[in-house]
């Protein structure tokens, strides 16, 4: 019988990490955790409380509020995944808006924010049987994960995916706005001092620019089997 492992998936925004992670979790009976949703929820909290407005960011107030921010994932069988609950309110839709996307990298730079979220993520994964996606999962959160995947795809491919997603949800955005946001977030995520996005030495890189979801899933399920044997 195979035992449960920890699967860490890192990579740039819109590389399809969450699609892959959700598929894996459902095939393997594992828990899926989208850590980007946690950084997004803290960003939304900061916006709701006026700590972020008109390009202004009151980091000190956010730092002081951190003990009062409670994040939970609630599994919704009808959706097949867990939604983000911020202080008892379902914020799954709000955290995906372009406004949150355009500020989240700045919030994710704060050491206190990262410390709080990394602790919570490690607690969620302590019994293994988890697929977690983000930027620092294989390097910081679970450096001992049995399987680490590092996903890449061209910026244009990723911007098109995010644009299609937003338009399908009824958001009125332009492709250029989304492309610029992708490029800007790539830069901030890879250049910040605290836990920048880097490929862990033992991570397996997958460029899925020209891969179907099915091909990608088959490839990774094979890697899971190898990691387990
Ligand atoms: O995966 P995403 O695009 O929803 O992530 C939103 C932002 O959160 C991303 O720009 C960087 C940040 N993030 C992070 O710094 N560390 C993580 N583990 C996950 C996300």
Residue 129 main-chain phi, psi, to 5 deg = 65, 40
Residues 6+ apart with CB under 8 A from 93: 169
Candidate from 17, 101, 135 with most ligand 1 atoms within 8 A of CB, to mutate: 135
Domains of the chain: 6-224 (3.40.50.300)
The pLDDT tens digits for 155-195 are: 999 999 999 988 998 988 999 999 999 999 899 889 989 88
Residue 54, token pair as written in the block? 């008109």
Helices of type H across the chain: 17-28, 35-48, 59-65, 98-107, 111-124, 155-168, 175-191, 213-228
Question: In angstroms, what is the span from residue 15 Cα to ligand 1's centroid?
Answer: 12
Pocket of ligand 1 (CB under 6 A): 13, 35-36, 39-40, 104-105, 108, 134-136, 185, 189
DSSP state of 89: E
Residue 79: predicted pLDDT: 86
Taking the C-alpha atoms of 102, 81, 216 and 97 in order, what is their torsion angle to the nearest 10 degrees?
-10
pLDDT digits (tens, 9 = 90+) for 4-63: 999 999 999 889 999 999 999 999 999 999 999 999 999 999 999 999 988 899 999 999
pTM of the full structure: 0.92
Distance between CA atoms of 111 and 57, rounded to whole angstroms?
A: 15
Stretch 141-154: mean pLDDT: 96
Q: Which residue's CA is minimally distant from atom 18 of ligand 1?
A: 134
Q: How far is the CA of 229 from the centre of ligand 1 (A)?
A: 31
- Tokens standing for 211? 């891969």
Q: Which atom of ligand 1 is nearest to the CA of 109?
A: 15
Instruction: Report d(CA 3, CA 137) in Å as an integer.
Output: 20
Asked whether the beta carbons of 95 and 37 are under 8 A apart, the reply is: yes
């Amino acid at each position: 019988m195979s035992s449960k492992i920890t699967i860490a998936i890192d990579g740039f925004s819109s590389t399809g990490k969450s699609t892959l992670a959700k598929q894996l979790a459902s095939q393997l009976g594992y828990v899926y955790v989208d850590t980007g949703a946690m950084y997004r929820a803290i960003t939304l909290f900061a916006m709701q409380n006026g700590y972020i407005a008109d390009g202004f960011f009151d980091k000190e107030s956010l730092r002081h509020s951190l003990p009062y921010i409670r994040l939970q994932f609630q599994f919704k069988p009808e959706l097949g995944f867990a939604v983000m609950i911020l202080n008892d309110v379902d914020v799954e839709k709000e955290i995906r808006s372009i406004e949150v996307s355009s500020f989240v990298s700045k919030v994710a730079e704060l050491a206190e924010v990262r410390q709080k979220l990394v602790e919570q993520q490690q607690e969620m994964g302590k019994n293994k049987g988890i697929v977690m996606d983000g930027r620092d999962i294989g390097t910081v959160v679970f450096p001992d994960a049995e399987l680490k995947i590092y996903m890449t795809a061209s910026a244009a491919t990723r911007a098109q995916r995010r644009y299609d997603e937003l338009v399908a949800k009824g958001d009125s955005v332009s492709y250029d706005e989304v492309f610029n946001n992708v490029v800007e977030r790539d830069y901030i995520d890879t250049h910040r001092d605290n836990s920048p996005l880097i490929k862990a030495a033992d991570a397996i890189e997958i460029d899925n620019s020209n891969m179907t979801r099915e091909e990608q899933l088959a490839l990774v399920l094979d890697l899971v089997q190898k990691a387990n044997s």
